Chain A
């Protein structure tokens, strides 16, 4: 097993074809999920006839700006953790120097990258937040009541690339070659999982907010935040 995971052939497969497969599945899967939802929602007149751009934007803005909604203000610590988690989860892979170097090697493009210590802290933040989420699922009664196995799996999918990346970078516990292979594999699993698991809330957040924002704004004449 160890030989297989650290073999150059497997590494090339992870770095080559599987990257393409992961990105194609992520992008095409996302487009498919969103477009099929939109086409079905269009036929539901009690949804489509009330959609309003103004109230959609009002709703989304109040829920992507920290503390802009009543419920966020009621749970200040959780709001901080949730925003740090989502922000670092999305930004870290984009601004990491090593990732930028890989893109530069492949296509001569690169984004702005942060010093490695910053990326390290961002990674630790993601891992810390996942631990908080797991503890919250176990400790808080109302969350434990509705927790199912897949909730932990989804958290694991999100955390795995960060944990493995951190271990690989610092060459802790395991061999670097092994860890980097696992890191790439986990990253690709996460991309593939986004459209097909409940990680799809990344795609649907905007649409469910459009529905509720419009419903509250243009129909119910009240605020949804």
Chain B
């Protein structure tokens, strides 16, 4: 195995690996592979016949010009097979290599499971590798910082609770310049829906929270948000393999909804927070499905438009395409609803190929978006197949209901110098939905 990779100076890898001892490494590997891993690991490892048919499922493999070391099975070979063969007796350098593969060369997108003749769940196995590296502390520094933020502030972005309330109040004030008597109701007990934003929407992307408030006010939805901890839907601890913190975050989230006695939770236009609540978090807490109806905005907006609560005043004329976020399309089948919304709001929709659950990952999923400047190049290079796919549609606008997809594709558009832009569904709706004259203060945003 001669695998060459560009060296990256991430203190999360370099410095933390120096603190490891062979005993600690062995103890953690044995704990995870022998105690925590279930029968799936053994069955998958023994059933895999090393046919390599999963290779073409992986966007890294395709983007890196079919470099065999990026094939899904090759990643398992370089990590789990190695640990199993050496019975956990590996050195810190190997742990760094496992971490590099599991964190920066796999987005846990699960596309490979659809291409394996045996349906081997490679994402499950690479999640085990992330768990091992997470317990050993060998994690990209930026990602670990955000997981730590969840432990201290219950949000991803080191936001204190008073910052949150303050932010909501100023967003409400600003919204009243557009919508008469607009309200962002906090702590409204018994509301229909609790909106649970991404913490960045309360930090430097407040326009997104404002957009959601705009839509919900115009559509007359009975909604609320908690003023107390548990409002943030994000969960970076899940990506670090820190299941304990992940469970705590989700528990707080569900408990906030229970305290407010709401009927549903709507997460922000985010993929991973939906996955954390619906799968990883719920299962960790012992629920088969989330204990409360959990909606992604794609589904919620689809229902609002379908039921006539949101009316579309005009359609976008420019050619548009979509990016199916793995967490909500391959992992929840919301691709049809996404396309319905796009067809209702845009005149010239050009679908991607491959589409729906076969779509390529944006190369930013499962925390990869959060690794900071040292790792930006992996998204730019690993996303080559993604951006080529979008380019081939000839669209000018990419619509995607996911923060990671949004940011990564936006950066790739810059990197590859393309004439495109990315939009959330909420942005499309705010620009194009019908607002009754009696609700308008002056002019709507796009008329200004």
Contacts and interface: CB of A to CB of B under 8 A. Distances in A.
A211 B61 CA distance: 26
Contacts of B354: 70
A141 B70 CA distance: 11
B314 to A, nearest CB: 32
B197 to A, nearest CB: 25
B68 interface: yes
B52 A200 contact: no
B40 A211 contact: yes
A41 interface: yes
Contact of B331 (A50, A205, A208, A222): A222
A192 B32 CA distance: 32
Nearest to A205: B118
Given A140-B52, A211-B119, A224-B119, A46 B283 contact: yes
Interface stretch (B41-49, B229-237, B249-257, B343-351): B41-49
Contacts of A37: 39, 43
Nearest to B51: A143
A176 interface: no
B66 interface: yes
Given A37-B39, A142-B55, A222-B330, A70 B47 contact: no
Given A142-B52, A145-B69, A208 B283 contact: no
A205 B117 CA distance: 8
Given A41-B39, A74-B56, A142-B71, A205 B47 contact: yes
Interface string B116-146: 1111110000000000000000000000000
Interface in B259-293: 279, 283, 288
Contacts of A141: 66, 68
Contacts of A188: none
Contacts of B448: none
Contact of A204 (B43, B116, B335): B43
Given A41-B39, A44-B40, A209-B118, A219 B279 contact: yes
Contacts of B61: 142
A72 to B, nearest CB: 8
A144 B46 CA distance: 18
Contacts of B51: 143
Interface residues of B, number: 49
Contacts of B68: 141-142, 144-146
Contact of A75 (B53, B110, B120, B279): B53
A207 B43 contact: yes
Contact of B119 (A47, A147, A212, A222): A212
B119 A213 contact: yes
Contact of A146 (B38, B71, B283, B358): B71
A40 B331 CA distance: 26
B44 A146 contact: no
Given A146-B52, A220-B332, A47 B40 contact: yes
A148 interface: yes
Contacts of A50: 288
Contacts of A74: 56
B114 interface: yes
Interface string B176-210: 00000000000000000000000000000000000
B77 A145 contact: yes
A159 B56 CA distance: 28
A79 to B, nearest CB: 10
A209 B119 contact: yes
Contact of A198 (B39, B46, B113, B279): B46
Contacts of A209: 118-119
Interface string A190-208: 0000000010110011011
Contact of B39 (A44, A142, A201, A213): A44
Interface string A119-159: 00000000000000000000011111111100100100000
B74 A142 contact: yes
A145 B53 CA distance: 13
B53 A71 contact: yes
Given A209-B119, A216-B113, 16 more contacts: A37-B39, A41-B38, A50-B288, A63-B117, A70-B354, A75-B53, A141-B68, A142-B68, A147-B50, A198-B47, A208-B47, A208-B118, A212-B116, A212-B121, A222-B332, A225-B114
Interface of B: 1, 38-40, 43-44, 46-53, 55-57, 61, 66, 68-69, 71, 73-74, 77, 110, 113-121, 279, 283, 288, 329-335, 354, 356-358
25 contacts: A37-B39, A40-B38, A40-B39, A44-B39, A46-B283, A59-B119, A70-B358, A71-B114, A71-B117, A142-B52, A142-B55, A142-B61, A142-B71, A146-B68, A154-B49, A198-B48, A204-B43, A204-B46, A212-B120, A213-B119, A216-B114, A220-B331, A222-B331, A223-B114, A224-B119
